[in-house]
């Protein structure tokens, strides 16, 4: 299979998954969204009716309340028809319509949430929160992999039974501890007992004030340390495993025989050849933290997408939920795609692996 076909296949899968997720979301939340829109229309009509008129004049327009109600109903049904809301959400036309709206980022307004500036548009909300999520989880994932590569390759060079067992045990342990529970423990430890870091990671300052960045970084410290602590043991363990496997290959052994210094072998040859696997590790790390971000951000009250998603679910804010599902899925799939592409460039074997 050529690299072109490989990329096309991966992109097709990406699109299929994205469409499936969106269809499922529409399927699950579609009926509530229609209800929300109809309510909005009714509200608009009532508002326009009251307008600037005083209570008396408004009542004089109609003979009695029932006539007024009739007028409102009539106007509402008219608007509903013109917007195509009279069709059930599962009609193909409607689904296509909703789908195209989502894909073109026409995500509508959140029901309960606003940005700091007061905008309730879902796009603005995501735009405000997304950088925070990326800031926290990419820096911590990179740190985890960095620590893994440095300590892991150091340990691979000098195999000590005690440290090996210790790291292996620690790696198993960090896989079995729920990260979000560990976050709670960290808050108890650092915010309640030691009182070094704040328990709530949303800075109280306004986002446009000059000290905001500093405050944000200070508030980020505890979540950052937590994510790094959760990940570093498995990272070291896998790097060591990967490097050891590469070191045992014949061509590396030959280099040792020729007289190339071990340090140079490790840095120049072993790590280079372990590149694809290390990339996979980084990618998987980022992908798995993305899913976990919902819980961790909620516990630390970090102002990111995961926290927003959790709150949107609690409040049942359907437009926001749909928007966030779209972004989460997109972020996840694009990370995967980049990972796949990098791998196929770094390691040509992967492309031909099928059968």
Partner 1 sequence: MVSKIIIKLWSHKGGVSGIILLLFLLTITVYTVSYIPASEREEWNNPSFWINYPKNAAPYWINFFLSFLHEQLPEHKIFTINDATVKNYTEGNDYKVQNISFFYEHSYSEFPPAFSVPYSIQIGDIPPAVEISIKRPDGLAFVIYYNSLDPISNSFQDGEEYDSAQQLLGTEDRDFENQKVVEEVEKNSNVISQRLFSSSREITQSLADKANFFDFPINDIPAEKVIFSDTKNNVPLEGKYEFVFSIYSFENTTNIEDIQWIVDGKVYGILGTDDFRRDISFGIMIGTPVALLIGVTVAISSTVIGLFYGLLSGYKGGRIGSLMVVIIDIFLSIPTMVLFIILSLNFGRSILFLIGLFILFGWPGIALINRTFSIQIKNYAYVEASKLMGESDFRIVLRHIVPQLIPFTLANFALSVPAAILGEAALSFLGFGDPSFPTWGQMLQDAHFSSAEILGYWWWIMPPGLMISITSIAFILIGRSLEAKSKLNKMR
Asked if 28 is part of the footprint of partner 1 (rule: CB under 8 A), the reply reads yes
CA 106 and chain centroid, separation: 19
Instruction: Pick one of 89, 113, 182, 241: the residue that binds partner 1 (CB under 8 A).
Output: 182
What is the rounded CA–CA span in Å between residue 355 and residue 352? Answer: 8
Residue among 270 and 340 whose Cβ is closer to partner 1: 340
Of positions 7, 11, 21, 154, contacts partner 1 by CB under 8 A: 21
Does 202 interact with partner 1 (rule: CB under 8 A)? Answer: no
DSSP class of residue 150 equals H
2 near partner 1, rule: CB under 8 A: no
Q: Residue 284 Cβ, how far from partner 1 at the closest point, in Å?
A: 11
Q: Does 166 bind partner 1 (CB under 8 A)?
A: no
SS3 assignment, position 159? coil
Which secondary structure element, helix H or strand E, spans residue 100, and what is its range? helix 92-103
Q: Are the C-beta atoms of residues 298 and 307 closer than 8 Å to each other?
A: yes
* Smallest separation (angstroms) from partner 1 to the CB of 243: 20
Give me the long-range contacts of 90-93 (CB less than 8 A, separation at least 24).
Answer: 90/27, 90/30
**Following DSSP, what letter does each residue of 201-251 receive, concatenated?**
-S-SS-TTSTTHHHHHHHHHHHHHHHHHHHHHHHHHHHHHHHHHHHHTSHH
**Does 8 participate in binding partner 1 (rule CB under 8 A)?**
no
178 near partner 1, rule: CB under 8 A? yes
Stretch that binds partner 1, among 38-46, 69-77, 193-201, 273-281 (CB under 8 A): 193-201
User: Can residue 313 be called a binding residue for partner 1 (CB under 8 A)?
Assistant: yes
Per CB under 8 A, does 177 bind partner 1?
yes
- Residues near 147 by beta carbon (within 8 Å), at least 6 away in sequence: 228, 232, 235, 236
Which parts of this chain interact with partner 1 (CB under 8 A)? 13-14, 16-17, 20-21, 24-25, 28-29, 172-173, 175-178, 180-182, 184-185, 187-188, 191-193, 199-200, 290-292, 294-295, 299, 309-310, 313-314, 316, 321, 325, 328-329, 332-333, 336, 354-355
């Amino acid at each position: 299979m050529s690299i072109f076909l490989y990329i096309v296949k991966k992109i097709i899968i990406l699109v299929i998954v994205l469409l499936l997720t969106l269809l499922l979301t529409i399927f699950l939340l579609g009926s509530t969204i229609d209800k929300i829109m109809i309510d909005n229309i009714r509200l608009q009509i009532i508002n326009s009716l009251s307008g600037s008129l005083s209570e008396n004049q408004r009542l004089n327009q109609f003979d009695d309340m029932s006539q007024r109600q009739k007028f409102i109903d009539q106007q509402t049904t008219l608007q509903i028809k013109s917007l195509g809301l009279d069709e059930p959400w599962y009609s193909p036309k409607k689904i296509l319509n909703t789908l195209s709206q989502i894909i073109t980022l026409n995500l509508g307004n959140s029901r309960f949430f606003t940005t700091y500036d007061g905008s309730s548009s879902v796009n603005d909300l995501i735009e405000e929160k997304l950088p925070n999520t990326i800031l926290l989880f990419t820096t911590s994932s990179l740190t985890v992999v960095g620590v893994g590569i440095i300590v892991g390759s150091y340990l691979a060079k000098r195999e000590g039974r005690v440290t090996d067992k210790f790291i292996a045990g620690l790696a198993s342990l960090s896989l079995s501890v729920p990260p979000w529970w560990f976050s709670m423990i960290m808050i108890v430890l650092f915010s309640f007992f030691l009182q070094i870091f704040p328990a709530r990671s949303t800075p109280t300052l306004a986002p446009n004030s000059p000290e905001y960045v500093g405050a944000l970084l200070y508030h980020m410290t505890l979540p950052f340390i937590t994510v790094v602590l959760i990940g570093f043991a498995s990272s070291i363990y896998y790097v060591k495993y990967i490097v050891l496997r590469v070191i045992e290959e014949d061509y590396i052994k030959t280099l040792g025989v020729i007289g190339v210094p071990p340090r140079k072998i490790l840095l120049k040859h072993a790590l280079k050849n372990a590149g694809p696997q290390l990339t996979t590790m980084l990618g998987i790390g980022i992908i798995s933290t993305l899913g976990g971000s919902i819980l961790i951000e909620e516990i630390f009250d970090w102002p990111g997408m995961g926290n927003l998603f959790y709150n949107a679910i609690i409040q049942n804010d359907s437009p926001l939920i749909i928007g966030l599902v779209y972004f989460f899925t997109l972020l996840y799939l694009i990370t995967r795609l980049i990972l796949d592409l990098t791998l196929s460039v770094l390691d040509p074997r992967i492309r031909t692996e099928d059968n």
